[in-house]
Amino acid sequence: MSGKLKTAVLGATGYSGIELARILARHPRLDQPLLLRRNAETAESTGGLPHIFGNHNANGKSGGNGNSPALPFSWSTLEHHGVELLFLATPHAVSRELVAEAVTRGLMTLTSGLTTGGLRIIDLSGAWRLKHDDHRAVYGFKDNCPQTAAELTDRAVYGLPELNSTSISSAALVANPGCYATSIILPLAPLLSAGIVDCDRGIISDSKSGVSGAGKEPTTRTHFVSVADNFSAYSLFGHRHTSEILEQLALDSRQFIFTPHLLPIPRGILSTIYVYLKREMTADEVQTCFYDFYRGKHWVRVFPASTLPEIQFSVHTNYCDLGFCLAHDGRRLIVVSCLDNLLKGAAGQAVQNMNLMYGWNEAEGLQ
Amino acid sequence: MSGKLKTAVLGATGYSGIELARILARHPRLDQPLLLRRNAETAESTGGLPHIFGNHNANGKSGGNGNSPALPFSWSTLEHHGVELLFLATPHAVSRELVAEAVTRGLMTLTSGLTTGGLRIIDLSGAWRLKHDDHRAVYGFKDNCPQTAAELTDRAVYGLPELNSTSISSAALVANPGCYATSIILPLAPLLSAGIVDCDRGIISDSKSGVSGAGKEPTTRTHFVSVADNFSAYSLFGHRHTSEILEQLALDSRQFIFTPHLLPIPRGILSTIYVYLKREMTADEVQTCFYDFYRGKHWVRVFPASTLPEIQFSVHTNYCDLGFCLAHDGRRLIVVSCLDNLLKGAAGQAVQNMNLMYGWNEAEGLQ
Amino acid sequence: MSGKLKTAVLGATGYSGIELARILARHPRLDQPLLLRRNAETAESTGGLPHIFGNHNANGKSGGNGNSPALPFSWSTLEHHGVELLFLATPHAVSRELVAEAVTRGLMTLTSGLTTGGLRIIDLSGAWRLKHDDHRAVYGFKDNCPQTAAELTDRAVYGLPELNSTSISSAALVANPGCYATSIILPLAPLLSAGIVDCDRGIISDSKSGVSGAGKEPTTRTHFVSVADNFSAYSLFGHRHTSEILEQLALDSRQFIFTPHLLPIPRGILSTIYVYLKREMTADEVQTCFYDFYRGKHWVRVFPASTLPEIQFSVHTNYCDLGFCLAHDGRRLIVVSCLDNLLKGAAGQAVQNMNLMYGWNEAEGLQ
Amino acid sequence: MSGKLKTAVLGATGYSGIELARILARHPRLDQPLLLRRNAETAESTGGLPHIFGNHNANGKSGGNGNSPALPFSWSTLEHHGVELLFLATPHAVSRELVAEAVTRGLMTLTSGLTTGGLRIIDLSGAWRLKHDDHRAVYGFKDNCPQTAAELTDRAVYGLPELNSTSISSAALVANPGCYATSIILPLAPLLSAGIVDCDRGIISDSKSGVSGAGKEPTTRTHFVSVADNFSAYSLFGHRHTSEILEQLALDSRQFIFTPHLLPIPRGILSTIYVYLKREMTADEVQTCFYDFYRGKHWVRVFPASTLPEIQFSVHTNYCDLGFCLAHDGRRLIVVSCLDNLLKGAAGQAVQNMNLMYGWNEAEGLQ
C-alpha cells in the first residue's frame, strides 16, 4: 500500500493525453497512472514511449503501467486497479457517454457536497462544459440516458481553478475548460467582475493558437507544408469555445466576437482582447483591478502596465500570463494573454484541478 | 541606345531593396538598374550576389551594374548614367533629405501635372507619406530647407495604385505606402467609400506580420531564437503606420485601433479587421461592394463570402487578397486581408507605381 | 491556331504537379496546359485554385483549363485536345502502366532517333529511371505487358539535362530524375568523370530535404507538430534514390552511402558529400574540374572554393548550386550542393527537359 | 543555516547560463544560486526575469538572488556569500583568466585527489578542455601567469560524466564539454573502446545544431530571416570542437572529419556518424557493445537496432539518445545521436557534473 492516489488516463494518445500522462508520472502524490485505451485505439499508438516516460528505473514509482502499452478500457479494469480518479482525454461524444455510464453503473455518486468514496472524473473534452441546451447543441450529443445526462450537466463543475476553486474541490465531475476559453476568460473576468466594461460596445478576442491545439490527426490542414510560413483565420463567428466564454462571463452573443487563428508553431496561445471601458480610467486603476483579482493565484502572472507577455514566456509552464495597454483616452483597453494550450489550456489545468479536489497545493507536480 | 528606362536603386541592401533590384533586373521595359549605396554602407553589403541576381549571362540586359558591387551614391553618378527614375530604399531621414536636395539642385521639377524631363523618385520610406504635421511628428524629421520640404510634402503622391492611379501617373515624387497600411487601407476603402461603416463604434485592425517587416538589422528581437516558436504583440496604440491609415481613410484617431504582431515566418502580413455596419446587410451586398470597387484592379483578389485568404496564397506575389465573413446579425463584419510585405507591401507596389507612372500595364514585370 | 505546343499534366494535385502546372501556365511557348486527374482524385482536389493560377484574365493564354477543375483523364481526351506532350505527376505504378498503354494503343512510337509525330511523355515518377532489373525491384512493378515495358525501360532517357542533353532532345519518354539523386549526381559527376575520386574508400552523401519532398499526403510523419523543431534521419541504407545514383554514376553499392534526413522547412535539399581523392590536389584544381564540366550550363552555379551554397539561395529557382571545401591534406574533399526539390528536383527540371526536347533555350519559362 | 550547497553563476545571460540558473534554482540540494555579471554586462541583461524564474514565492528557497538583477562579480562577493561552487558561463578568454586568478589568490587548491575546502569551478567554455598545446592554439589564449595556466590545464578534468566520473568526483576544476563534442564522443566511445573501428578508413560526423548553439549575440547569421526555411554547413575542416573530439577519442586528425550545420530550430543537435568496421559484425553485436558500455548510465539512452532517435525526443531533457543502423555487408555502420545542446550539451551536463562532484545521484535536479 503506497497511500498514494490511484489515477487512470483514458486516451493518452492525443497531445493533451500524452502531456497529462507525463505530468502524472512525476506527481509526488500519485502512483504511476494507469494508461488505458479505447478499443478503437491500437496498443501501438499508446504508452511504451521510452523517450516520453523516461528510463524505466528513473522514478521508482509503483503501480500503473506508465512505461508499457496502454490497457484496453473496461469498468472492471478500473475497479480491479482501485482507480479513484479518472481523466478522460477522449472525444466529446465518448466522454458524454462514459460519464453517464459510470453513474448508471453506480460507480459515481453525484451529490451537491463532497463526494464520498465514489469515482471522480476530470473530463478534458467539451462534453460537460456547457449548461445551456442551446450552447451544447453545437456538439450534437445524443444521450442514451437523457435524465442522467441532464443531472450530470447540472452537477458538473466548470474547472477553471482561479474562478471556481470551491466547487471544484468538492466536485465529482470536473469539466476541464477549453484552451482558447481559458485564455479569454482569465483576462476578462477581473474587468467584468469590476463592472468597468462597456459590454454593449462589443468585446473582441482575436486569438492565435499553435498547431497542437488542432489535434494529432494528420489532415491537409495540419500538414507541415500547409502550416509553415503560413497564418490563417478560421471558424469566424462559429467556434465552439465561444459558448463556454459566453456562459462563464455571462455575456450575450452580440456582445462578443471570438476569432481563432492558426499559428505556425507547435504550442501556445496568445489572445489579443479589445475592450471599451465605461469610464476613463488610469493604467494604475486597471493594474490594481488585475492584481486584486489574482492576488495569491499561483498560476496567473499579471505583468506591469504596457509590458506584454509573449508566447515563449508561458510555453512549457502552467502559467497564464496577462498584460495590458490602455489608450491615451483612458477608454480603450487591450489585454494580451498567453498560455500553453497543452498545459494551462488542458493537461496542466486538469492536474491543477486534481490538486484542488484532493486538498493539495495548487502547484504540486506542475513546477 | 536601348530605348529602355534608366533606373537606379539607392540602398539595395535591405530586404525591400534587394527584392526591388531583383524585380527591376527582369522587368522588360528597363535596362539593368544602377545599384547605389550610401557611403555609410560598405561595398560588400551590396550587390554582387550571384545567387540573387542570377548568372551574369542569363538575361542579356545592357547597362547597370546588377551583378557587381553597388557604386557609391552621388548626384553626378546619377546624371552620368542618365537615370530617369530613382528608387529610394533608404531610412526615413535620408529620404527626406535626399529628395529635398534633388529639388534644390534643380534635378527635379515639381509641377501639378506631368513632370517633364526631370528626375522622378519613388520613395519606399515613410518620409513623404504624411500630409498632416501632427502625424509626421512621430518621425521627428529635421528639414534643412523647410520651404522645399513643405512643398514636397504637398506634392508627394501617396502611391497606393488602387486608390490614386491618376495622380500617381503624373507624379514626380511617389511615397510608397507602408506594408501594414496597404493591408488595412485596401480592405477598408470599399466599405468606407460606400458609407456603410459605423465608424464611431470603432474599427479595429489586428495585424500580424512576418519578420522581414522588422528589417534586416540583427537585434535581440529578430534573433531566430527570440522569434521561433513565439508570437507577440508590439507598439500597441503607437505604431507609425497608424497615421497613414487615418489620413488615407479620413478617420479620427478615436475611431481606429491598429495592433501589430510579430509572426514567426519570414514574410507575409495578415490583417483581421473588425467593423460594425450602420445597417443590417447581406453577405451578397458586402461582396458586391468589394467586387464593384476592385473590378479591373489586377493586384487585388476578392474572395467569395466566407472564403478567407491565407498568407501562403499571396506570398511571393504582388496580390493583396481580401476575404470577409458577416455575422448572422448582418451587422458585424470581419475582413481578412493578406499580402507579401516585401512585394505588395513594398517593392512590388513600387514597381506597380512605376508601371503607372510610365503608362505601362500595371502587371508588367510583376508576374 | 496558336502555333504553340499543346501540353497536359496528369496529377496536378501533388506539390510537384501544382508547381509544374504553375510554370507551364506562364511558359511563352505553350498554350494553357490541360489539367487532368485520375478518377481516384476528386475534382475538388485539383485545379480551380485562383490564388495559384492567378486572375483569369492575367495571361491571356488560349486553350487549356488552367483556371478550372481538372478533367478526368482518358486517352480520347488527350487526342481530342491534340496534346503533344504529356507530363505524368502520378504514382510510380500508375506511370508504369500508363506509358505502356500509350505504346500499345499506338499513340507513342519509340525509335532510337527523334520521335516523329507521336505523343511524347515526361514522367516525374520513379517508373522509368532504372535500367537494371535488380535496382527496379525496390519498386515492385507488375507490368501487364512485360515486353513493352522492357522495351520502354531500354528506350527511356534519364532526364538529367546537364549530363544527357543529346539523348533528351530526341527522346519520346523522359524519366525525370529524383530530387535527392539530382542533388548528388550533379556534384559527383565532374569528379568521377575526371577520375580523381578514390571510390573504393567510399563516397558518402549526407542529404537533408524539406518536407514537400515527402509528398502531400497527410501522415503522422508530415504533421506540423512532428516536424517543427525536429530533425531526423530515415531510410538508412535503403532509400530508393540510391539506385538511380549508382546507375548514373556507375558506382558499386559498397562504394556509396546515402543518408536522407527530414528538415523542418517546406522545400529545399542540401547534400553534404564526402569524397577521398586519389592524389593530393589543390583547391584550384578542384575548382577547375567543376568549372570545366559546367561551363555554359545555365542551371548549375559553381561557387568559388570554400564558399558554400545554402538552401535559401536556390529555393524558388531552378538552380543547382555547388560549393566545396578541400582539407589541408589535399585528399579529403567535401562538396555541398543545394537545390529546390520541387524545381530543379522535379517540376523545373521537367520543364528544362521539355525545352531541350523542343529545341528551345534551356532557361525558357524558368526565370 | 540551510546545510545546502552555495553556488554562483557568472554570466547567466547567454542561453546556457539562463538554462543553468533555471535548473539550479530548482535543484533540491542547493540554495538559490547567486547570479553574477561581469562589469561589461548591464544589470538589465541579467536576472530579474519573472517569466523565467517563476513567481517569487514559488519555491521557498533561501539565499541567492534568483529573482533579482545579477550582482557585479568580485572575488570578495563570492567569499562574502560563502560560495563553494562557481559556474562560469563566460567567454573562453574570461574563463581562462578567472580560474588562474582564483588559484593565484589562493581561493582554489589544485591537488591530485579530492579538493578540501577550496572553491570548485565548473567552466562551460572551451578554456580548459584541451590538453595539447597545438589544439588549444585555435583559441589564441594569452595567459598572464603561464605556469599556473599550465598546471591548471594539466589538472582540469574533462567533464564528460559517462567517461570520467571518477576524476570528476574529486576535481576542483571541471571543463564542461562542447555540445557538438558530447554528441560525437558518446556514440563513438563504445565502438573505439571495443577496438572494432577501422579508424584509418576515416570516421565522419555530419552534425546539425539548432540556433541557440550559435549564441545569443544578434548577428546577420542568427537573424530569423537568415535561418528560417534555410539550412547550411559551416566551419568545414575547421571547427574548434574537433580538437576535443580528437583528444578524448585519441584519434589522429586525418582519421576524423567533423562538419557542423545550422538547423532552423531553436535547440537540439543530431549527429550522423559514419564508421567502417574492422570486421563483419551483426547488429546484435553492435547493440551489445552500446548496451554494455552504457549499462547503468542514467543519461544515455540506447535505442534498439535500426530505431533512430530524433531531436524531438531529447530536447528539453538531459538525455543523449543513441541509435544505429548497420549495412547488409556488416561493415558499414551509421550511428545517430541526439541531445539538447543547452542541457546535455551544456547546462544539464554541468549540473550532472556537480552531482558527481558532491556524491549525489547523477539525475538529481535534472528530471
State the DSSP string of A281-326: --HHHHHHHHHHHHTT-TTEEEPPTT----HHHHTTSS-EEEEEEE
Question: Does residue B223 sit at the D interface (CB-CB below 8 Å)?
Answer: yes
Query: Which residue spans of chain C are classified as CATH 3.30.360.10?
Result: 179-339
Low-confidence stretches of chain A (pLDDT < 70) are: 1-2, 40-68, 111-117
Q: Which of A27-36, A263-272, B59-68, D212-221 has the lowest mean pLDDT?
A: B59-68
Least Cα distance to B269 among B146, B181, B154, B333 occurs for B181
Q: Which residue blocks in chain A are alpha helix, DSSP H?
A: 15-26, 50-53, 75-80, 92-104, 133-136, 146-155, 161-169, 179-193, 224-227, 241-249, 283-294, 311-314, 347-357
Which residues of chain A are within 8 Å of residue C229 when distances are taken between CB atoms? 266
Q: How confident is the model at residue B58 (pLDDT cuts 50, 70, 90)?
A: very low
DSSP state of A69: P
pLDDT in tens, D148-169: 999 999 999 999 999 999 999 9
User: Quick check: A219 and C216 in contact, CB under 8 A?
Assistant: no
Residue among C232, C266, C332 whose CB faces D310 most closely: C232
What average pLDDT does this structure show over B229-257?
95
Question: Does residue D15 sit at the A interface (CB-CB below 8 Å)?
Answer: no
Question: Does residue A229 sit at the C interface (CB-CB below 8 Å)?
Answer: yes
Does the structure show a pLDDT above 90 at C29?
yes
pLDDT in tens, D110-153: 765 555 668 999 999 999 999 998 888 888 889 888 999 999 99
Percent above pLDDT 90 for chain C: 79
Say what the pLDDT of residue C140 is.
87
Which has more confidence, D18 or D1? D18
Count how many Cα atoms sit within 13 Å of the Cα of residue D159 in the half-sphere of its side chain. 36
Packing angle, helices B347-357 and B15-26, rounded to 10 = 40
Least Cα distance to A100 among A80, A127, A78, A77 occurs for A127
Which residues of chain A are within 8 Å of residue B329 when distances are taken between CB atoms? 254
pLDDT in tens, B89-143: 999 999 999 999 999 998 988 765 555 668 999 999 999 999 998 888 888 889 8
Cα separation of D84 and D115, whole Å?
11
Say what the pLDDT of residue A292 is.
97
Is domain C179-339 in CATH 3.40.50.10490, yes or no? no
Cα separation of D146 and D161, whole Å?
28
Question: Which of B222, B224, B265, B315 to mutate: most D Cβ within 10 Å?
Answer: B224
Say what the pLDDT of residue D328 is.
96
Question: Does residue C266 sit at the A interface (CB-CB below 8 Å)?
Answer: yes
Question: Which of C44, C52, C223, C230 to mutate: most A Cβ within 10 Å?
Answer: C223
Catalytic residue among C145, C179, C320, C338: C179
Cα separation of C314 and C342, whole Å?
11
* Inter-chain touch D313–A51, beta carbons under 8 Å: yes
Which residues of chain A are within 8 Å of residue B234 when distances are taken between CB atoms? 308
Say what the pLDDT of residue A40 is.
67
Chain C: residue whose CA lies nearest to B313: C51
Say what the pLDDT of residue A114 is.
57
Contacts of A137 (CB under 8 A, 6+ apart): none
Enzyme catalytic residues of B: 179
Say what the pLDDT of residue D138 is.
84
Which residues of chain D are within 8 Å of residue C259 when distances are taken between CB atoms? 206, 272, 334
Least Cα distance to A310 among B220, D210, B338 occurs for B220
Does the structure show a pLDDT above 90 at B40?
no
Most confident of B278-282, C105-109, C146-150, D129-133: B278-282
Residue among B204, B310, B327 whose CB faces A232 most closely: B310
Which residues of chain B are within 8 Å of residue C309 when distances are taken between CB atoms? 51
Say what the pLDDT of residue A48 is.
41
Q: Is the dihedral of CA C356, C357, C358, C364 positive or negative?
A: negative
Chain B: residue whose CA lies nearest to C296: B57
Question: Does residue B42 sit at the C interface (CB-CB below 8 Å)?
Answer: no
Interface A-D: count of C-beta contacts within 8 A: 38
* Inter-chain touch D51–A314, beta carbons under 8 Å: yes
Enzyme catalytic residues of A: 179
Q: Which of A63-77, B309-323, C183-197, C303-317 has the lowest mean pLDDT?
A: A63-77
Say what the pLDDT of residue D136 is.
87
Write out the E strands in chain B: 7-10, 34-37, 71-72, 85-88, 120-123, 157-158, 173-175, 203-209, 232-233, 256-262, 269-276, 300-302, 320-326, 332-339
Single-letter residue type at B303 = F
Average confidence score pLDDT of chain D: 91
Say what the pLDDT of residue A60 is.
42
Residue among C232, C315, C329 whose CB faces D229 most closely: C315
Contacts of D331 (CB under 8 A, 6+ apart): D276, D277, D279, D280, D281
pLDDT in tens, D289-328: 999 999 999 999 999 999 999 999 999 999 999 999 999 9
Say what the pLDDT of residue D100 is.
94
Query: Which residue spans of chain C are classified as CATH 3.40.50.720?
Result: 7-176+346-357
C333 three-state secondary structure: strand
Adjacency order of strands within the sheet including D332-339: D232-233, D256-262, D203-209, D269-276, D332-339, D320-326, D300-302
A262 three-state secondary structure: strand
Say what the pLDDT of residue D16 is.
95
What average pLDDT does this structure show over C297-315?
96
Q: Which residue blocks in B156-240 are alpha helix, DSSP H?
A: 161-169, 179-193, 224-227
Contacts of D253 (CB under 8 A, 6+ apart): D242, D246
Phi, psi of B78 (to 5 degrees): -60, -50
Is domain B7-176+346-357 in CATH 3.10.20.30, yes or no? no
The H-or-E segment that residue C272 falls in is strand C269-276
Say what the pLDDT of residue C364 is.
96
pLDDT in tens, A109-165: 876 555 566 899 999 999 999 999 888 888 888 988 899 999 999 999 999 999 999
The H-or-E segment that residue D147 falls in is helix D146-155
Question: Does residue A18 sit at the C interface (CB-CB below 8 Å)?
Answer: no
- Supply the ipTM of this predicted assembly: 0.93
Question: Does residue B367 sit at the C interface (CB-CB below 8 Å)?
Answer: yes
Say what the pLDDT of residue A13 is.
87
